[in-house]
Amino acid sequence: MIAVLFPGQGSQTADMRASVERLRPDLLELCREELRVDPFERVGEGTHMAQPAIYCASLAGWSLVDPEEPAFLAGHSLGEFAALVAAGAMSERDGLKLVALRGRLMQRATGGGMMAVGAPLETAAAFAERFGLTLANDNSPEQVVLSGDEAAIDDACAGAKAEGLRAARLRVSGAFHSPAMEQAAPELEAAIAATQLAEPRIPVFSGVTAAPFDDIPGRFLEGLTSPVRWREIVLALRERGVTRFVEVGPGRVLTGLVRKTLGSDVEAETVSEEPARA
């Protein structure tokens, strides 16, 4: 049984535009129509450009997969939008509109930051509480990401070193997946309400619940401020009989997280590793 995984922000690669141009050049035209810019040329400007670029690159990767083979789909944060498009829950154009809006709203909600901690969830949660931080991503047994204001992140980075914890500040413009993103909710909610949604033809796991989407608009909004339960998603997929994980889109971040969660001998790969079919 196969699960296809769609990466989130931070997975961009230097060659992803070339992949889209080769596999799905129509997505570049869609970006020009909807965004009036080529987001791949401006990825470094921030999340408002990175998110639509990664979304398109993920759909380009999906084009290499036989859509009848996956039993489940899952996306890490931003990746949920591409996963739901792949599952037929909304159109590619509507998905791009929502992703572009989400990226702009998150870009505006600046202030604060994020840090990765090399520790299991329980240890990282206790550490976050001591420094007034919010759990943002439970990525694997070896990595948890925390969000908070700038001063708290600075203190926590110094505190992690003193406590012997592996920690690194992330290059992001805000405290994503934390209450700081609440200001983005009203405008995104209105846009989602105006979007035509359908029942996914393939179950798509939500990062909010670590279970298949039961309320797409609600889970999208919750996802702005709730932690991404990626480790739990991977475990749940394995429990449902998944024996093979295939990551589409740029990079191979999720492939590494799957291996860290399930062991190095798990069958996990990126679609670029097998250019025919997944």
Catalytic one of 177, 178, 206, 226? 177
Catalytic one of 11, 19, 58, 77? 77
Q: Rounded to an integer, what distance in angstroms lies between the CA atom of residue 259 and that of residue 253?
A: 10
Q: Is 177 a catalytic residue?
A: yes
CA distances from 2 to 27, 60, 162 (A): 26, 19, 42
Those residues with Cβ within 8 angstroms of residue 264's Cβ, 6 or more apart along the chain or in another chain: none
Q: Is 77 a catalytic residue?
A: yes
Token code pair at residue 193: 């309400």
Token code pair at residue 190: 């209105």
Those residues with Cβ within 8 angstroms of residue 36's Cβ, 6 or more apart along the chain or in another chain: none
Q: Which residues pair with 70 in a beta bridge?
A: 2
Put residue 88 in one of left, alpha, beta given phi > 0 → left and psi -120 to 50 → alpha: left
Of 181, 168, 38, the residue nearest 103 (C-alpha): 181
**Which positions are catalytic?**
77, 177
